[in-house]
Chain A
Amino acid sequence: MMDPLPDVRRTAGALVCLLAFLAAPVAAPVAAQSVDDLPPVTDTYALTDARVIQAPGQVLDPATVLVRDGLIEAVGTDVSVPYDAREIDADSLVVYAGFIDGLSHAGVQRPESGSDDEEDGNEAEVDPGDPPTDRSGIQPDRSVRSFLAPDEKTLEALRKIGFTTGHVVPEGRMLPGSGAIVQYGGASAGDLVLEPKPSLFAQIQPADGYVYPATDMAVIATMRQLFREAARRQNLQEAYRENPDGRRRPPRDPVHSALFPVLDGSLPMAFYADDALSIHRVLTLQRELGFPLLLAGLAESHAALESLETADAPLFLTLDLPEEPARSAESDTIAADTTDRPSRFYDPDLRTASYRDVSAEAENLELRHAAERKKYLRTAALLEEADLPFGFTTREADAGDIRSHLRTMIEEGLSAEAALAALTTRPASLLGLDRRLGTVEDGKIANLVVTDGSYFDEDTSVRYVFVDGRLYDYASESEEGEVTGEASAVVGTWSYTLETSQGDFSGTIEIEGDASGLSGTFVGPQGDEQDLQSVSWDGTTLSFSVDSPQGGSATVSVTVEGESFDGSVSGSGQSFSISGERTRSPDR
Chain B
Amino acid sequence: MLSASLSRRLFLLCALLLGLATALPDAATAQKEPGRQGVFALTNAQIVVSPTDTISSGTVVIRDDSIAAVGSGVAAPNDAEVIDCSGQTVYAGLIDGGTRLGIEEVGSLSETQDFNEIGEVTAHMNALTAVNPNSVHIPVTRVHGITTVITEPSNGMLPGTAALIDLHGYTPRQMHAAGVTLTKLDFPSVGRQGPSDDRSPETIEKESQKALDKLNEVWDRAERYARIDSSVTAAEGRRQPEYIPAMEGLLPVIRGEQPLMITANAASDISVALDWAEERGVLDQVILSGAMEGWRVADEIAEASVPVLVGSVMQPPSRESDRYDRAYETPSLLRDAGVTVALRSGKTENVRNLVFHAGFAASHGLGKSGALRAVTTAPAEIFGIDDLVGTVEAGKKANLFVADGDPFQPTTDVQHLFIEGYKLPLENRQTKLRDEFLNRTPGLSE
Contacts and interface: CB of A to CB of B under 8 A. Distances in A.
Establish whether A and B are touching in the complex (CB under 8 Å).
yes
A361 B322 CA distance: 10
A356 B321 contact: no
A354 B321 contact: yes
Contacts of A352: 321
A-B pairs, top 9 by smallest CB distance, nearest first, are A358-B296, A365-B321, A358-B267, A354-B321, A354-B322, A356-B296, A356-B295, A352-B321, A356-B298
A354 B323 CA distance: 9
Contacts of B323: 354
B426 interface: no
B322 to A, nearest CB: 6
Contacts of B333: 356
Contacts of B321: 352, 354, 365, 368
14 contacts: A352-B321, A354-B321, A354-B322, A354-B323, A356-B295, A356-B296, A356-B298, A356-B333, A358-B267, A358-B296, A358-B297, A361-B296, A365-B321, A368-B321
Interface string A337-369: 000000000000000101010100100010010
Contacts of A361: 296
A474 B267 CA distance: 55
A439 to B, nearest CB: 47
A365 B321 CA distance: 8
Interface in B282-324: 295-298, 321-323
A358 B319 CA distance: 13
A354 B322 CA distance: 7
Nearest to A327: B201
Interface in A526-583: none
Nearest to B201: A327
Contacts of A358: 267, 296-297
B264 to A, nearest CB: 15
Interface of A: 352, 354, 356, 358, 361, 365, 368
Contacts of B297: 358
Interface of B: 267, 295-298, 321-323, 333
A352 B322 CA distance: 10
B187 to A, nearest CB: 18
A340 to B, nearest CB: 14
Nearest to A358: B296
A10 B224 CA distance: 74
A244 B321 CA distance: 66
A356 B300 CA distance: 12
A358 B300 CA distance: 12
Given A356-B333, A358-B296, 12 more contacts: A352-B321, A354-B321, A354-B322, A354-B323, A356-B295, A356-B296, A356-B298, A358-B267, A358-B297, A361-B296, A365-B321, A368-B321
Nearest to B298: A356
A371 B267 CA distance: 26
Contacts of B295: 356
A365 B267 CA distance: 16
Contacts of A365: 321
A354 B333 CA distance: 14
Nearest to A365: B321
Nearest to A361: B296
Contacts of B322: 354
Nearest to B337: A356
B365 to A, nearest CB: 13
A238 B443 CA distance: 61
A365 B297 CA distance: 18
A106 B46 CA distance: 82
Contacts of A368: 321
A441 B43 CA distance: 105
A352 B321 CA distance: 8
A361 B298 CA distance: 15
Contacts of A354: 321-323
A352 B297 CA distance: 20
A79 to B, nearest CB: 59
A365 B320 CA distance: 11
A310 to B, nearest CB: 31
A352 B295 CA distance: 18
A354 to B, nearest CB: 6
A368 B296 CA distance: 20
B265 to A, nearest CB: 15
A376 B267 CA distance: 32
Contacts of A356: 295-296, 298, 333
A355 to B, nearest CB: 9
A356 B295 CA distance: 7
Which one of B295, B296, B322, B333 has the highest number of Cβ atoms from chain A below 10 Å of its Cβ? B296
Contacts of B298: 356
A358 B269 CA distance: 13
Contacts of B267: 358
A349 to B, nearest CB: 14
Nearest to B296: A358
Nearest to A325: B201
B202 to A, nearest CB: 9
Which one of A352, A358, A365 has the highest number of Cβ atoms from chain B below 10 Å of its Cβ? A358
A210 to B, nearest CB: 16
A354 B267 CA distance: 14
Nearest to B293: A358
A576 B410 CA distance: 90
A358 B295 CA distance: 10
B372 to A, nearest CB: 26
B279 to A, nearest CB: 21
A354 B295 CA distance: 12
A358 B293 CA distance: 11
A354 B297 CA distance: 14
A361 to B, nearest CB: 8
A470 B184 CA distance: 75
A358 B333 CA distance: 14
B140 to A, nearest CB: 38
Which one of A352, A361, A365, A368 has the highest number of Cβ atoms from chain B below 10 Å of its Cβ? A361
B28 to A, nearest CB: 53
Which one of B267, B321, B322 has the highest number of Cβ atoms from chain A below 10 Å of its Cβ? B321
A352 B296 CA distance: 16
A459 to B, nearest CB: 36
A354 B325 CA distance: 13
Nearest to A357: B296
A61 to B, nearest CB: 52
Nearest to A368: B321
A365 B319 CA distance: 11
Nearest to B333: A356
A368 B295 CA distance: 22
B331 to A, nearest CB: 15
Nearest to B322: A354
A356 B321 CA distance: 13
A356 B297 CA distance: 8
A356 B330 CA distance: 12
B103 to A, nearest CB: 35
A354 B296 CA distance: 10
A352 B319 CA distance: 13
A567 B267 CA distance: 66
A131 B228 CA distance: 66
A337 B416 CA distance: 56
B346 to A, nearest CB: 24
A98 to B, nearest CB: 40
A354 B320 CA distance: 12
Nearest to B323: A354
A358 B267 CA distance: 9
A95 B261 CA distance: 74
A367 to B, nearest CB: 12
A368 B267 CA distance: 21
A356 B296 CA distance: 5
A335 to B, nearest CB: 11
A331 to B, nearest CB: 18
A356 B267 CA distance: 11
A136 B323 CA distance: 42
A99 B297 CA distance: 56
A368 B322 CA distance: 14
A354 B321 CA distance: 8
A489 B35 CA distance: 98
